[in-house]
Structure 1
Amino acid sequence: MTGRASAGRSGKSATLAGIGALVLWASLALLGRLAAGLPPLQITAMAFAVGGVLGTAAVVLRGELGQLQQPALAWLHGVGGLFGYHALYFAALALAPAVEANLLNYLWPLLIVLLSGPLLGLPLGARRLSGVALGFCGCALIVGAGASFPPGAGAGFLCAAAAALVWALYSVTSRRMAAVPTAAVAGFCLVTAVLAALAHALFERTVLPGAGQWVVVVLMGLGPVGAAFFLWDIGMKRGDPRLLGTLGYAVPVASTLLLILLGGGELGWRVVVAMLLVAGGGWMAARAA
């Protein structure tokens, strides 16, 4: 009983760590909007350089530098997830209206819940699936019939949906990478920064950041593009991915409201109803846990 209770406490602590990542990610859309004017790949490279350097420094101070030596599959999984998601996400914010793209990106909690069944063998149940359906309806409302957007927004919405799929796959399959220590995330961040910098050099024109943009990039690297990854890694590997996936539905509500307060969009009826459906679906599915 003692071992089982200890494992239960460890699992709850890990889930709380994952929730901490969700709180940090609520600020990502706002920070991405504040960095407007910088190319998506340049933002990705700069933010991950900050997060990677700070994370690696922490690893060195803890004497865990050897944990960066991981198999090629672990590097492919870590770097592919971090680089793929954020390049697509920042592109979505640059190409489409920020509020709508941000909400569509939050298909990833829905996909985490759905993929936890076939990929991890975790039971879903009628209540979770009903909550997922509500969340999906909220996202569908954003880009459904009757919605009007500027030319080129379609490409941004496709990037947002692709980002959601990449992050869901990365998150769920992290469970199968349980042997890879969380300290290795620092290395993944550094390599992501290098890849993003190379891609930026090939496909974008460099824009010199202003003082405010530098502050935003540093904040990204400290929080949603830094510490959040370590917390999320702990949560997905040792916590409850179904609960974290469903609680993730609260993030688009918080991040969308922050965007609107900044002036990054309007609080129209579609946005309000979509947020209610997304949050209500997450609440319903979370109660199943």
Structure 2
Amino acid sequence: MTLPAVSRRKATLTGFAAILLWSLLALLTVGSAPVPPLLLNAICFAIGGGIGLVWAFRTGGLRRLRAVPLRVYAFGTLGLFGYHLLYFSALRMAPPAEAGLIAYLWPLLIVLFSGLLPGERLVARHVLGALMALAGTALILLGGDRGGPLSATALPGFGLAFIAALTWAAYSVLSRRLGAVPTDSVAVFCIASAVLSAIAHLALETTVWPQDGIGWLCVIALGLGPVGLAFYVWDIGMKHGDIQMLGVASYAAPLLSTLALIVAGASEPSATILLAALLVAGGALIAARARDNAARLATDG
């Protein structure tokens, strides 16, 4: 799973596939209940890692995997396992909507952090587009009456959610510095994350398996898509695509996730969702125009 001659545009489109896959995360997670989160992580990461290992075996990638330094495997494993552990812990310790909003600061952080990368330049329109998209995400996650002030006991959960956002943003942006590392290595990240998740599950959770065929299908679909293939295509997008555009476009994931829940009958359509869609699309458009203007100036220069 290596793309030596991939273009920036093709890599960006490949990264968009991860956003589409992540839009199914909430719906499939609901369907996988009552499997506890760490056990769900272990199963899904094992499936996702297995996909990558099979691909590597069929394409000669196993030789490439042996050449990857151990520090890279440690970095990738900490990124995948660390983010999901922090995320699920945050949602246990704080109101899920508010904690989810804080955790979903990672696309904004990606846009901001990407300005520090060699060859990248952050402009005002990137920030404006990211903030508009963040406002759309806020409408989805915070829409509705919360019924009073938040309890101080939720603050630790909010702290973990913010650390989770930093973790995924750092993992995504730093992946750009590992452009020479084959995407096959994500398979090892997933397998190692599955092992760590299984160990944490045995120590912290009670084992509960899916209750019916629909539950098992949702678990398998999670491992094949949002917690599997998504990591591979995201890796390609982060290493070779337009990282700022992908960061802003990531705000479409909670919007698309909400639409998926509506189509499935698990949520009701509202004016809030329409306004959120306009903000997310507008933010992405502003960021895209900023990218186009930068490219035009570079060409004219």
Aligned equivalent of 2:73: 75
Shift of the alpha carbon at 1:189? Answer: 0.7
Which of 104, 107, 120 is 2:105 aligned to?
107
Residue deviations 1:41-98 (CA, integer Å, cap 9, x gap): 1110010111111211111111211222221220121111111222333445566666
Residue deviations 1:112-139 (CA, integer Å, cap 9, x gap): 1011012446211111111122234445
Aligned equivalent of 1:46: 43
Aligned equivalent of 2:124: 126
Q: Within the alignment, does 1:206 sit opposite 2:207 as a pair?
A: yes
Shift of the alpha carbon at 1:288? Answer: 1.3
Q: Within the alignment, does 1:35 sit opposite 2:36 as a pair?
A: no
Distance 1:38 1:95, change over 3 A: farther
Aligned equivalent of 1:255: 257
CA RMSD of aligned residues (A): 3.0
Shift of the alpha carbon at 1:162? Answer: 3.3
CA distance in 1, matches of 2:122, 2:105: 17
**How many positions carry a matched residue from both structures?**
283
Distance 1:101 1:42, change over 3 A: same
CA distance in 2, matches of 1:259, 1:95: 24
Aligned equivalent of 2:16: 19
Shift of the alpha carbon at 1:155? Answer: 5.8
Aligned equivalent of 1:231: 233
**TM-score with structure 2 setting the length:** 0.81
Larger deviation: 273-282 or 166-175?
273-282
Q: Within the alignment, does 1:181 sit opposite 2:182 as a pair?
A: yes
Secondary structure, counterpart of 1:118 in structure 2: coil
Counterpart contact for 1:104–1:139, Cα < 8 Å = no
What stretches of structure 1 of length at least 5 have no aligned partner?
A: 1-5
Shift of the alpha carbon at 1:218? Answer: 0.7
Aligned equivalent of 1:3: none
Q: How does 1:49-60 map to 2 (within 5 A)?
A: 49-60=46-57
Distance 1:267 1:99, change over 3 A: farther
The percent identity for this pair of structures is 49
Distance 1:239 1:161, change over 3 A: same
Q: Within the alignment, does 1:280 sit opposite 2:278 as a pair?
A: no
CA distance in 2, matches of 1:21, 1:15: 10
Shift of the alpha carbon at 1:226? Answer: 1.2
**TM-score with structure 1 setting the length:** 0.84
